[in-house]
Amino acid sequence: MSCSKSNPLISIAYADYFHLFSGLEPASTTIGSPSHFSILLTQIPHSNDTIGGTTLTNQAVCDQKVLERGGSSRGKEMQKLGDFKLPQFFNYPPYFTLQPVRDTREKQVQLWKELILDYCRTQNIFVIGLEDEFPLFTNQVIERSLSHEAKGTFLSALVSEGRAEWIDKGHKKCLILWHRIQDWADIILRFVKETGLEESVMTIEEIRSGIESRGTELHGMDRTVLMRALRLLEQKGKAAIFKGSSADDEGVKFSV
């Protein structure tokens, strides 16, 4: 990979990348500081380099190296999203762009899968819309947002592992299964045993929003996920679902 030495901005940009990769402090804290390297790199001629058989531009090569080394975030960082602590990679710009090298992209996808599941679990979120504003998909501090393609790639990876499902045919809304349906069924059974509700009848809404479920993962649970978990228990002979005159009247009797 090469670049013209006649442009001082280019030299500064690559000098800062060298320091970034080597873990040393940058030679300059003004124009050439790491906080400016993404801007400076846009001025670098796009000569090509090859990594792992994939031809990359200079920008992609630099992103690749940042990812390989785990990045080095200096300056402003976004530490939390509300009460949720963000992982370190969330402050590295390359992670917001789909990486062209297979091994690097696999690492990137894995990190985003874990982040999405963890965030949805702690915030009790069950549905993500690709066209809706979702807090995780933008880092305002480093001014980076995931593209529509990147969002779809990360969610599709969760779907392929059984940790999410597309709700619509157009793949615009995704149901997040931070617990698999079998795991939700097990959680329901533990809840029933711990609260002494064996052989008792409860309405579906009591499970989702009743006093007994407060402080548990069942409180505020998505109705679709809850019904699927209850039907699984019914198939195993551990629950019987009763239909009422309306959805609010539906009930279930447990046989634990």
CATH 1.10.10.570 given to domain 80-176: yes
Which helix (H) or strand (E) segment holds residue 138: the answer is strand 138-139
pLDDT band at 48 (very low <50, low <70, confident <90, very high): very low
Is residue 176 over pLDDT 80? yes
Is residue 154 over pLDDT 70? yes
The residue that leads in pLDDT, 129 or 47, is 129
How many Å apart are CA 66 and CA 79, to the nearest integer?
A: 19
The residue that leads in pLDDT, 196 or 58, is 196
Burial classification of residue 81, based on how many CB atoms lie within 10 Å of its CB (0-12 exposed, 13-18 middle, 19 or more buried): middle
**pLDDT confidence of residue 250:** 87
Which helix (H) or strand (E) segment holds residue 176: the answer is strand 173-176
Is residue 147 over pLDDT 70? yes
pLDDT tens, residue by residue, 89-123:
999 999 999 999 999 999 999 999 999 999 999 99
Query: 181-254 belongs to which CATH class?
Result: mainly alpha
Residue of 7, 1, 108, 134 lying closest to 59 (CA atoms): 1
Q: What is the pTM (predicted TM-score) of this model?
A: 0.70
pLDDT band at 3 (very low <50, low <70, confident <90, very high): very low
SS3 state of residue 233: helix
> What is the mean predicted confidence (pLDDT) over 218-238?
95
